[in-house]
Structure 1
Amino acid sequence: MQFTVHTLSRLMDGISAMSISTKGIVIETKSVKKLYTWQIQSQPPAILLGKITPKIQVFTPESSFKIRIQGCDLDAAQFELQKLWLSSHVNKLTQSIAKLESLLEKRYLSHGLLLTAQKMTSELAGYWLNWSLDKRFERHLAQTRFTLEEVHTWQQQDIDEFREAYIKKQLRDYEGYFDSVASKPLTMAQRRACVVVDERQLLLAGAGTGKTSVMIAKVGYLLNAKLANSEQILMLAYGKDAADEMQQRLKNAYFSATCRTFHSLGTYILGKVEGKPPTLSQLCHNEKKKLQFIHDTLVSLCQDRAYKQRLLQLLRAHFEYKKNESEVDFSASSVVRLVKQFSDLISLYKQASSLGSLQNLETEFEDLLSVFRPVITEYQLYLNNEQTIDYDDMINRATKYVKEGRFKSPWVHILVDEFQDISLVRAELVKALLGQHTRSHLFAVGDDWQSIYRFNGADLGLTTNFTHHFGSSTVMQLDKTFRYGQDLLDLASHFVCQNPQQIVKQVRAQSVPDVPSVVITPEMSANAYTLVIKQIAMRHSGHTSVMILARYHKQLPSKEELMLLNDQYAQLDIIAMTFHAAKGKEADFTILTGLDKSSVPAVRQKDQIIEAFLPMLEAYPNAEERRLFYVALTRAKRQAYIMSPSEPSVFIKELESQF
């Protein structure tokens, strides 16, 4: 195609000639000849009607320029210019939109996919949405351009509607699957948690809401929808029993995925990198041996006079040791307390070191840490000589290997149970695994109302501020409990949510019981719970489970007493455990005992250095103790009996005020 350059362009712009071909537009001046290819032009050249003479405007990514022309059919020229430009650009548009449509049809509109779509359409929009398409091309391109414009101009309402349409389609397509994957059909909230597949997803699952059923169903959905294969799915649980249960339930449902605890995951990673699985030190499993090791280490270190003086100063300053004593009495109660503190501190110190948060703590507690550091050095030398590791070494080394790329993670989907119990160091391992894949998925299932392990480093903020720690995410809730009645649900929910930092959840119970789910009864003697057990046995002839719960082991019946009770009431299965141990368990009836005002909430003298190494303490009084009592309250499927002593816990008084 040949244009004649108007005289004014020659005079004002120095352009002597212009020619157009399938390659692009060639502009000639007296000194240079330059080709503007169709590929670099951001939209088709436009024919403009000037006041004196028509112009052709050429668009490049940096700028645009106009050339006056003469002697041509302007409509025909505009058509040909679009045709030539389209020949270089149309394939990229159609292929990109086809790929986008395929992704949007096959996958949930996750935050990552939305970002990809917005980036893709933003780039294409600069080329395609700023000019009018000739009607003769509309038959081939109108729908493609419409899709581009629609996605490019999405508002939040459009995004929400698109996601909802996808969810409803998947719910229809997999209705039969969700009806049969568990022992009873999944609820709508459970189904939605399965079909929403965001890169980062938190499912808040209260007590008895069927979280394990959702996790198993989620795996099955990923496999059936061909969003992942079994080798790409990792399920993480905290205890071996929970991991084994998930593995068995997967097997029963004919699904396959990797189920591990964090510790077995660490063992696996170290075994893969180092060629053999690590050996755990006996000090990990035997607290008595660990305390003895620390005791013996202190005795040995005190052969150095300077160290002994630092230890004595520490004991006098913080452990009420006799001020005039010049020797260390290693049998003294203050030394026993110090040994226990050091035992607890070893793990916390290692975690803080791996997270790079030691500097301020070492400055604040230099007097204590100057005594402690030689102990942990000896501890680590002992492990090295044994050729063993402890649990902290396991997680820290596993994280290091993943970050360095020495371990290649096959897992694209990671599902974590009891997420409210996760610590920062474990979160770092999960993040490192996720970071190995361009598109990875975390499905975290937990309940901030049941976060009771801060003393082990569990950081509730990882759940309550999930998006802050893990990036843009979807947060969902399960809305129905199957364990207990509506009255217990109302009572327990109101109780735990007195702490304003707890996430408020809208949960309903499946059943409304005929009799009260919570009974507060006087505790007139130390074994008054036996009278409650007798009442339960008289009213229920079939096999019935009973759980006796207390804050401390010493408040529970002995093994011999339990054996006698089980022999006396053959139809009852009676067990006893602490509030902490009961988490994740359930029974037909529970009996909460030992609820005097000095036991619940627990009143402990705070150890300043241990507190400093733990996640930040919540401002609300007794926040974790309140959650612990909530856990104890919600173990009963039929009735929870609360034994009220003569000087009852303030928690009992609070519950009584709600009746």
Structure 2
Amino acid sequence: MQGRASGGDPKRFRSARRPPACPAHRSLYRSFGASLRYYLRHSQVVPRPYLLNRSCFIAEPDQKYSARRQSPGAYDKALSLWEHRWQPDWVQINEKHTLRELNVCKALLDSVESRPLTEEQARAVICFDNRVQVVASAGSGKTSIMVAKAAYAIHRKFMAPHNIVLMAFNKKAAEELKDRTIRSFKRLGMDGSGVEATTFHALGLSIIGTATGKKPDVPAWATDTSASCEKILMIVDHLKDQSNEFRTRWDMFRMVFGRDLSPPGQPIEGDAWDKDGTPLIKTLDGKRVRSQEEAIICNWLFYNGVHYEYECLYERDTANVMHRQYKPDFYYPDIQLYHEHFALDAQGKAPPQFKDYVEGVKWKRQLHHKMGTVLIETTSHQVRNGGVFDHLARELTSRGVKLDPNPSRPIPQGALWPMKDMELASLIRSFISHAKSNCLNSEQLRHRLDNMPAGSFKYRHRMFLDLIGPIIACWNSALAEEGGIDFEDMLNMAAEHVEQGRCQIAYDLVMADEFQDASRARARLCRAMVQNPGRHFFAVGDDWQSINRFAGADISVMTNFVSWFDHGQLLKLEQTFRCPQALCDVSSQFVTRNPTQIHKKVHSKTPAVGPVLQAFEVCKEQELEQAIKDFLASLYKRVCDGHIPLGRQGTVSVFMLGRYNADKPEPLKRWKSLYGSKIEMSFLTMHSSKGSEADYVIIPSMISRLRGRSFPSMQTDDPVMQMAMPSGDTFPQGEERRLFYVALTRARRSVIMFTVKGERSIFLDELVNDKVVTVTNLHGEKIEEQRCPACKRGVIVTRTGPYGEFQSCSNYPACQYKPPSKNYFKNRKL
């Protein structure tokens, strides 16, 4: 059940005087409707309806069932009426209560923060159902309603201060909650010193300490992401020394299986493109091949030191009027062996879209037989079940080829780099975090693997599980040796102690901030803390904002709140005090292209100061810093001239937000010395900017590249993570989209984006296509570009060659696409 118990038109509820028609509802209305001082909770009316006089039901959590005073038929009929028709009266009673509380507690609601709470904020404070989820807009005062709810609960004597806890996800946020609580209570003349503000981790450790008599230690290497990865690499080195089999597995995964395979027949994303726009895959030895499966074979051959040629001309002439010269996939010149890799399944069938493919297979087999050349074959089925490698090893070694596995073989310039050790360690650390958060053991992980969709590259996933098994065992042993635990174990252990009653929780009101960052382990702990009757859980978050995936955050905890907590009121804070309406509209439209986001309509009364979005493009990356400096100089001059009003601190504040720390402009310190008297500047990553705001936001690198730093990042969750995580957000670049929403909504006035010709971010392209921003040069002249249809990142530019001007992609030589020339079409007409 999900609803807005405190929603609706106040006038409609004020005029509703007639009691309900149903006898059960009339009893409910008489008992609570006229003088209810407390919010009528869901648990009071739904789970245990009790039969009283004449089929009348009333809910009292501590009251025992009275005897049936009606026949079973009448009882069942009354119960059915209750189950199907109780909600309108429940809503009506709580609306009357809310209107009364808005009036009675007006002084508190107007004074608890520096400015009076809005009605939607006040309603969220007053709503004291057992489970309440508040979906908040950026800048809508999430912290304010948490602090106000604590003050309201104490003021109305619902509970004592020491029965309230506010939980945050890091120490800084918890300290801010505590400071805000102290200031608000002081403003109200109340004593709220007993209200606790803490982190999930601190609370979890305290619970374990109470339940066991000994608070466990969390080693530093288990908390810091970088230190955790270093610890994993130490474990890997130890396992390599102990086992050649493990060493080979680790090297093979990095070198050959660093990438997943798309399902058979699905279009692939290339690393490079030919002149016709066909995507190509790069290999470790610098080749460009036409399929992911061929790339895996190439990488295996390179890792083993096998000399081969890709798509070389066949030794006999086969070209005719209808066909070009035959080029077998692989040729091993040292042993004069040809090798074709066929896109065939276990039954010898090709993907449906590969027309006449099987006929081509037959032609190649017949040609080799006729010409007396030796051909070996591999298939898609063999690659996907892993059998291809034993097959190739037998075919090659039986003909005298010696395999020489070497993970340190030099990689040619411009080739695909293998997965780095630290990259694989980071993947493993994230996998451990999610697997533990979801309480998944080895057997359950393999069961999840078996149930993955058809087309998944299960052989690769199985290799990963074979790798991670001994690593997790060593990780847990290292923790045990130090008498410690990691955060994921700690949260689950704390939840279990509470679930089993080994630790009694004193909190009647549990509030969680930034709930979009909740992992399943955190959600489990919250659920355990409020499992007893009469407890309240109040979660505040914004699923439109980016989440801490690296810390195990699972957005489905928020979007599936009811399935986690059985029921819940869904309230919304839709008024923002930060962004002007035009920026609210742009950012909302952008992030809600993802249909899984919870709908809300963000509105603002903040006046606009100049254009809310600007975008500037320079010709080369080296020109970005000068462009940003010119903008700051212009802003500084307009502030000095009085054309731009000063901000809250007597200056104009500017955030420079980067996708990465490396996006920080080097001259920032020098710019501060030049313009710091009027402009307060600071650099933050988009992730770390959550909860902060500034007058202006500058995004210095709205750039999408084929390689290197890009925004949005082209890196996606490795598919092996599906074994450790629930099915989550599958929308393309969903997390990067939420991250850009965070960047856009930090601004009180305007967002200014900078990009480079031929490397314009696809997010910026989307805003341009939506006609909400125009990209200009520094002189304000509009820039029009034609995006390359092949790589979809570069732009079509005019070049000069030996035969005159021609057009090609700006990403040449990685993308060699050339649009057909006008002369080509003229000649075709002739």
TM-score, structure 2 length as denominator?
0.61
Q: Which of the numbers 667, 674, 690 marks the counterpart of 1:583? A: 690
1:610 corresponds in structure 2 to 721
Separation in 2, partners of 1:489, 1:97: 42
Question: Are 1:549 and 2:654 matched, yes or no?
Answer: no
Structure 1 pair 123/634, CA: closer, same or farther in 2 (3 Å)?
farther
Question: Are 1:596 and 2:703 matched, yes or no?
Answer: yes
**Deviations 1:43-64, CA, capped at 9 Å, x for gaps:** xxxxxxxxxxxxxxxxxxxxxx
Is the radius of gyration larger for structure 1 or structure 2? Answer: 1
The secondary structure found in structure 1 opposite 2:428 is: helix
**Deviations 1:343-364, CA, capped at 9 Å, x for gaps:** 3333233223358953424655
Question: Are 1:259 and 2:187 matched, yes or no?
Answer: no
Q: Which of the numbers 95, 104, 129 marks the counterpart of 1:164? A: 95
> How is 1:632-647 mapped onto 2 (pairs within 5 angstroms)?
632-646=743-757, 647=759
1:402 corresponds in structure 2 to 498
Q: Which has the higher helix share?
A: 1
1:651 corresponds in structure 2 to 763
Q: CA deviation at 1:113?
A: 1.8
Structure 1 pair 338/114, CA: closer, same or farther in 2 (3 Å)?
same
Separation in 2, partners of 1:129, 1:343: 61
The secondary structure found in structure 1 opposite 2:46 is: helix
The secondary structure found in structure 2 opposite 1:448 is: coil
> How is 1:304-453 mapped onto 2 (pairs within 5 angstroms)?
304-315=243-254, 317-319=256-258, 320=299, 322-323=303-304, 324-326=403-405, 334=419, 336=421, 337-353=423-439, 357-361=444-448, 363=450, 365-435=461-531, 437-453=532-548
The secondary structure found in structure 2 opposite 1:537 is: helix
**Deviations 1:533-585, CA, capped at 9 Å, x for gaps:** 22222222542221001212222224xx3322222222222111111111111
Question: Does the Cα contact within 8 Å between 1:205 and 1:445 map onto a contact in 2?
Answer: yes
Question: Does the Cα contact within 8 Å between 1:454 and 1:615 map onto a contact in 2?
Answer: no
Letter in 2 for 1:344: S
Structure 1 pair 171/381, CA: closer, same or farther in 2 (3 Å)?
same
1:509 corresponds in structure 2 to 604
Structure 1 pair 121/219, CA: closer, same or farther in 2 (3 Å)?
farther
Q: Which of the numbers 166, 179, 185 marks the counterpart of 2:110? A: 179
2:215 corresponds in structure 1 to 277
2:633 corresponds in structure 1 to 534
Separation in 2, partners of 1:327, 1:384: 35
Question: Does the Cα contact within 8 Å between 2:109 and 2:117 map onto a contact in 1?
Answer: yes
Q: CA deviation at 1:155?
A: 4.5
Letter in 2 for 1:105: L
User: Percent identity at matched positions?
Assistant: 30
Letter in 2 for 1:535: S
**Deviations 1:475-523, CA, capped at 9 Å, x for gaps:** 1111211012111111111111122222221221022324222222334
2:796 corresponds in structure 1 to none
> How is 1:108-187 mapped onto 2 (pairs within 5 angstroms)?
108-115=39-46, 118-121=49-52, 125=56, 155-187=86-118
1:73 corresponds in structure 2 to none
**Deviations 1:21-76, CA, capped at 9 Å, x for gaps:** xxxxxxxxxxxxxxxxxxxxxxxxxxxxxxxxxxxxxxxxxxxxxxxxxxxxxxxx
Question: Are 1:624 and 2:735 matched, yes or no?
Answer: yes
Question: Are 1:562 and 2:649 matched, yes or no?
Answer: no
Letter in 1 for 2:492: N
Question: Does the Cα contact within 8 Å between 1:417 and 1:445 map onto a contact in 2?
Answer: yes
Q: CA deviation at 1:326?
A: 4.1
Question: Does the Cα contact within 8 Å between 2:546 and 2:742 map onto a contact in 1?
Answer: no
Which stretch shifts more, 177-186 or 452-461? 452-461
Structure 1 pair 104/424, CA: closer, same or farther in 2 (3 Å)?
farther
The secondary structure found in structure 1 opposite 2:436 is: helix
Letter in 1 for 2:437: Q
Letter in 1 for 2:173: A
Q: Which of the numbers 560, 564, 569 marks the counterpart of 1:469? A: 564
Letter in 2 for 1:179: D
Separation in 2, partners of 1:636, 1:264: 33
The secondary structure found in structure 2 opposite 1:580 is: coil
Separation in 2, partners of 1:284, 1:592: 33
Separation in 2, partners of 1:305, 1:650: 45
Question: Does the Cα contact within 8 Å between 1:354 and 1:396 map onto a contact in 2?
Answer: no
Structure 1 pair 645/119, CA: closer, same or farther in 2 (3 Å)?
farther
Q: CA deviation at 1:428?
A: 0.7
TM-score, structure 1 length as denominator?
0.76
Letter in 2 for 1:586: E
> RMSD between aligned alpha carbons?
3.2
2:319 corresponds in structure 1 to none
Question: Does the Cα contact within 8 Å between 2:434 and 2:552 map onto a contact in 1?
Answer: yes
Q: Which of the numbers 280, 287, 296 marks the counterpart of 2:234? A: 296
Question: Does the Cα contact within 8 Å between 2:209 and 2:216 map onto a contact in 1?
Answer: yes
Letter in 1 for 2:511: L
Separation in 1, partners of 2:715, 2:29: 64
Question: Does the Cα contact within 8 Å between 1:434 and 1:441 map onto a contact in 2?
Answer: yes
Structure 1 pair 563/495, CA: closer, same or farther in 2 (3 Å)?
same
Which stretch shifts more, 500-509 or 332-341? 332-341
The alignment of Structure 1 onto Structure 2 pairs a total of residues equal to 545
Question: Are 1:458 and 2:553 matched, yes or no?
Answer: yes
Q: CA deviation at 1:600?
A: 2.3
Separation in 1, partners of 2:752, 2:433: 38
Separation in 2, partners of 1:334, 1:497: 34
Q: CA deviation at 1:285?
A: 4.4
Letter in 2 for 1:551: R
Structure 1 pair 129/289, CA: closer, same or farther in 2 (3 Å)?
closer
Q: CA deviation at 1:426?
A: 0.8
Q: CA deviation at 1:247?
A: 0.5
The secondary structure found in structure 2 opposite 1:590 is: strand
Letter in 1 for 2:631: V
Q: CA deviation at 1:416?
A: 0.7
Question: Does the Cα contact within 8 Å between 2:545 and 2:742 map onto a contact in 1?
Answer: yes
Letter in 2 for 1:260: T
The secondary structure found in structure 2 opposite 1:318 is: coil
Question: Does the Cα contact within 8 Å between 1:329 and 1:335 map onto a contact in 2?
Answer: no
Letter in 1 for 2:117: L
Question: Does the Cα contact within 8 Å between 1:537 and 1:569 map onto a contact in 2?
Answer: yes
1:497 corresponds in structure 2 to 592
Separation in 2, partners of 1:632, 1:282: 31
The secondary structure found in structure 1 opposite 2:703 is: coil
Q: CA deviation at 1:333?
A: 5.3
Structure 1 pair 252/328, CA: closer, same or farther in 2 (3 Å)?
same
Structure 1 pair 469/123, CA: closer, same or farther in 2 (3 Å)?
farther
Separation in 1, partners of 2:704, 2:516: 28
